[in-house]
Amino acid sequence: MFGGRGRYGLGMRVPLIGVAAAVERATWSVWDQSAVLLPQSYLRAIQRAGAVAVMLPPDPLVARQPDLVLDLLDALLLAGGADVDPLLYGAQRAAETHHGIRERDEFEIALAQRAVERDLPFLGICRGMQVLNVARGGTLIQHLPTHVGHGEHLRVPGSFEGADHPVHLAPGSLAAAAAGGQRQATLSHHHQGIDRLGDDLVVTGWADVDELPEAIEIPSKRFALGVQWHPEADEASRIIAALVERAREYALARAA
């Protein structure tokens, strides 16, 4: 399904991949202030796959009218980051849940909901997988060590050092096709996970260590996938390239 191709085909437009960005306090040069940012690894992975990455800052107008942005894109990627506000899935905040930016949560949930409705190629990474589940009416486990009894899903905060984490993927699934096989070595960095599954979603990947859901997808869509690990941090991973390939097909179909 996701075999190799040339970077560009004759008359083929380079696909545009929208990547939702975080709002965080940041320092650079002489500045220390609120900033819209993304780890460069997401952008580099998209660029290596032959697409153009477009950063999407949280925007209340777009949250109300997602088509303003989605009309311009060939795929949407939701990146990792802070915990989703539990009030958005009907839960009280646990002591271990980190305070995020509500504006970002609402923006990304609106984008995810509408991208799925439009059948726009979609990939959620780590937090992005959790946003997809919440957008479809699902809920989250707020602190995995309390739930599963260990900290293997987040060994070193702020680092992928020693984060190797094998998962197994369902045969015939989008997750397995995108990853290139049913066994996947992954880099993991999360303390939350899927609890109740959202509408139309199926679990197609599980952690070897405890069978925690590691991949979810909507089989009826062309490419609607969430992975709990970080393919952008692994240059050998094929996941983001698979999204770009499907975005290229989507762009060709739109042009036709």
Sequence-distant (6+) residues with CB within 8 A of 13 are 251, 252, 255
The one catalytic residue in 126, 165, 190, 191 is 126
211 has catalytic annotation? no
Is residue 182 within 8 A of residue 169, CB to CB? The reply is yes
245 has catalytic annotation? no
The one catalytic residue in 108, 217, 232, 245 is 232
The one catalytic residue in 165, 189, 190, 230 is 230
Is residue 44 within 8 A of residue 57, CB to CB? The reply is no
Interatomic CA distance for residues 122 and 224, integer angstroms: 5
230 has catalytic annotation? yes
Residues with active-site annotation? 126, 230, 232
